[in-house]
Structure 1
């Protein structure tokens, strides 16, 4: 869960990441949901650590973000940065994104599946059937489809890593469809790891807790408007802070650090694992 500055509690941690120079040198990394938030932070860090990165998002903003990552420079000169627009709620979109990344970089070594996020925040009995389906399409299917689209490439080269982004909101209030979707992401991770390991492919995940972020450039859905909707959202914020042993939200840098560790060769003996990054909240 990410919140904007207007709704989040203050955090105590620095937002400045500790860069591991050259950690992704020679690696081709695909990051989805990369136009903003956690995905953008991960893409920036991968590039700063020498990786050739492909940013994927359905918002055209991703191209502007990629330009910023490219001009910011990396620890390895002339590392390419690519961007792709695709609707990852469909298999065709996921397949197109993977094929574009392979065409640009020649191979894929790491896929970070970051697309997802609560659209509505309210008790389950207030969701319409259409809203429930939209939540599942938004937060489950992009990971399901990207794993399916990327896996044949990783199996063929007998190496690679998939890092999925789940959530500790699998145990949280006022977002049951989102919780169900992120529970599915956990299941994809643990089940696919069994199948992929014989092919030299690792499948891991993080489970972020509440994470502060700048105001979203592209909204997931309608913002809380009525007093009741604002109160339901406030319940999520309060429960998130209370469930964290550290009693605060995390930063984008803290989330990116965990994802990049699991994506790197430093985590070469870790697979089938979901790492909570939520100040002690295990979800």
Structure 2
């Protein structure tokens, strides 16, 4: 598997008015966690080298789950090594190009080989690459946005589903976005709308096979500066202005008038992934301070 195509949701961006406040990292023991909630569970997590994916992996490891971490960046191996010291379960990692079927298929095979089976799959790869009005996107940029934020989930879920069914059932948690109603990122919004449709449609098919399919839809999220960038940052005053419009809308749409934290995003993902949510399927939970997307 080769590195390509991971990321977290709406990290606080650079803007024309400066940089949004940067959140703290996820190293160390989470402030809140439920001991042994994932003991005996094998959890596959994509986009796990940084941001929300890393926060989720950290939480599940501290809850004694076995985790298999996947990212486009080699940094994922260090994250896995650190988590191996805090969980009683097994820890593995791999790099993968989840924008391709071959990468997703190889990822699941590696996870099953390492963990023995997969009980839960958390698909966290995606994220806006560019920020501008739709008429300014090139056809190539539109295709890249869709590959990054829709096909990574489509391929991952297609590869994960047989492994879950063969294991007698399990849970898929996709990470979508409230940006389905957002400015200056139409291709990304359309991609996340596709993720939402995937959740509702697949839940109908998968329930008789004892597989739950759910998602969260994060809003703007404070995170440390990205170690692996999604794409080029805004260049020139016009691009900075377009990016600032995203920042302003994100804050204005939150009833709390702020960005969320990594812990605030990780907690509902981990809940939906757990057995505590056993009667929830086909749902997309907005986690955006009241913004419903």
SS at match of 1:186: helix
**What is the RMSD of the two structures over their aligned residues, measured on CA atoms?**
1.6
| Equivalent residue number for residue 46 of structure 2 | 32
- Contact 2:13–2:247, Cα closer than 8 Å, also in 1: no
- C-alpha deviation, 1:278, in angstroms: 0.2
- C-alpha deviation, 1:2, in angstroms: 1.4
| Equivalent residue number for residue 252 of structure 2 | 242
Q: Within 1, Cα distance between the matches of 2:194 and 2:13?
A: 26
Matches within 5 A, 1:58-207: 58-71=72-85, 73-74=86-87, 77=88, 79-207=89-217
- Contact 1:17–1:254, Cα closer than 8 Å, also in 2: no
| Equivalent residue number for residue 3 of structure 1 | 12
TM-score by length of 2: 0.92
Structure 2 residue 36 is the aligned partner of structure 1 residue 22: yes
- Contact 2:70–2:107, Cα closer than 8 Å, also in 1: yes
Structure 2 residue 240 is the aligned partner of structure 1 residue 226: no
Q: Within 2, Cα distance between the matches of 1:207 and 1:129?
A: 26
Number of corresponding residues: 277
2:55 pairs with one of 26, 41, 58 = 41
CA separation of 1:48 and 1:117: change in aligned 2, threshold 3 A: same
CA separation of 1:199 and 1:116: change in aligned 2, threshold 3 A: same
Q: Within 1, Cα distance between the matches of 2:251 and 2:135?
A: 24
SS at match of 2:212: strand
* Structure 1 unpaired stretches of 5+: none
- C-alpha deviation, 1:225, in angstroms: 1.8
* Structure 2 unpaired stretches of 5+: 1-9, 24-28
